[in-house]
């Protein structure tokens, strides 16, 4: 299926997790998600539209987020994404999985 991932330097699948996490605090549009990620990560995570929007579509397709059109801060039409119930479940799942992964990587890195 032509869904090859282009998540720049991110670990594969991490972007989905990050997006889901950023939506916990409430619905956001795409630009806001990207800004939020950049800001919170002290500008380490720069997500471009070529990875962001396919990732959002993927989440939509899987039913983990839903999208609604609304007005932006400057009163323009923007698409707002919010978590669905199964999206929340998925977030927990992926988070645990990620934690396990990080732990494993750290174990490897810190081996004698």
Partner 1 sequence: MKGSLRTRLTRMGRRAMAYWRRDQLHRELEEELAFHLEQIEAGEGGSGLAQFGNATLAREECREMWSYMSLERILQDLRYAVRMYRRTPAFTAVSILSLALGIGGTAAMLSLVNSLLLRPLPYSHPERLLRITGIFPRAGVRYFQEQSRTMEVAAVSAGSDFNLTGSGSAVRITGSRASPNFLSVLGTSVAMGRSFRPGEETPGRDSVVIISHDLWRDRFASDPTVLGRVIQIDGVGREVVGIMPAGFAYPSAQGRIWIPMRLDPSNFVEYWGTEFVPLIGRLRDGATPGEARQEVPPLVAQFRGTFPYPMARDWNADSTAIPLQQDILGDSRGKLIILLSSVALVLLIACANVASLLLSRATTRRREIALRAALGAGQMRIVRQLLTESVGLALAGAVFGVLLGTAALAIFKSLLPRSLPGLEPIAIDWQIVAAAGVLALLTGVISGLAPALSAAQVDLARTIKTGSQKASSGFWTRVRGLLVAGEVALTIVLLVSAGLLLRSLYQLSQVDLGFDPAHVLTVQVSPNPSYCTQRDRCIALYDRLVERAAGIAGVRAAAAANAVPLDGQLPLIPVNVEDYPKTVDHPAPMLWFGAVSPEYFGVLRIPLLAGRYLTRADNARASAVAVVSAAAAKHFWPNQNAVGKHIKASSGQDWRTVVGVVGDVRQYSLSQGLPSFVGGALYVPYSQAAGEDGRMPAAMTLLAGVGSEDLRVANAFRQLAVEQDPNVPVGRAQALEEMVTGSIGDFRSTMRVFLGFAASAILLAAVGIYGLMSYWVSQRLYEIALRVAMGASRRRILSLILGQGLQVTALGMLAGILAALALTRFLAALLYQVAATDFLTYAMVVGVVSGVAVLATAFPAWRAARVDPLKSLRAE
Q: Cβ 39 to partner 1, closest distance in Å?
A: 5
Residues 56-75 that bind partner 1 (CB under 8 A): 57-58, 60-63, 69, 72-74
Give the full edge-to-edge strand order of the sheet including 77-83. Answer: 28-29, 77-83, 65-71
Asked if 82 is part of the footprint of partner 1 (rule: CB under 8 A), the reply reads no
Asked if 6 is part of the footprint of partner 1 (rule: CB under 8 A), the reply reads yes
Nearer to partner 1, 100 or 106 (CB): 100
d(C-alpha 18, C-alpha 52), whole Å: 11
Asked if 111 is part of the footprint of partner 1 (rule: CB under 8 A), the reply reads no
In 3D space, the residue among 61, 50, 47 whose CA is nearest the CA of residue 19 turns out to be 47
d(C-alpha 32, C-alpha 15), whole Å: 15
Nearer to partner 1, 32 or 91 (CB): 32
Q: Cβ 51 to partner 1, closest distance in Å?
A: 6
Q: Which residues bind partner 1 (CB under 8 A)?
A: 1-4, 6, 29-32, 34-35, 38-39, 43, 46-54, 57-58, 60-63, 69, 72-74, 76-79, 86
């Amino acid at each position: 299926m032509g869904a090859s991932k282009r998540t720049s330097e991110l670990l594969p699948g991490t972007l989905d997790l990050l997006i889901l996490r950023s939506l916990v605090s409430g619905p956001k549009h795409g630009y806001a998600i990207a800004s939020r990620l950049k800001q919170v990560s002290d500008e380490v995570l720069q997500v471009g539209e070529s990875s962001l929007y396919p990732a959002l579509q993927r989440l939509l397709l899987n039913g983990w987020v839903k999208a609604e059109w609304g007005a932006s801060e400057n009163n323009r039409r923007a698409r707002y994404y919010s978590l669905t119930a199964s999206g929340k479940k998925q977030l927990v799942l992926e988070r645990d999985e990620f934690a396990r992964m990080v732990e494993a990587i750290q174990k490897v890195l810190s081996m004698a």
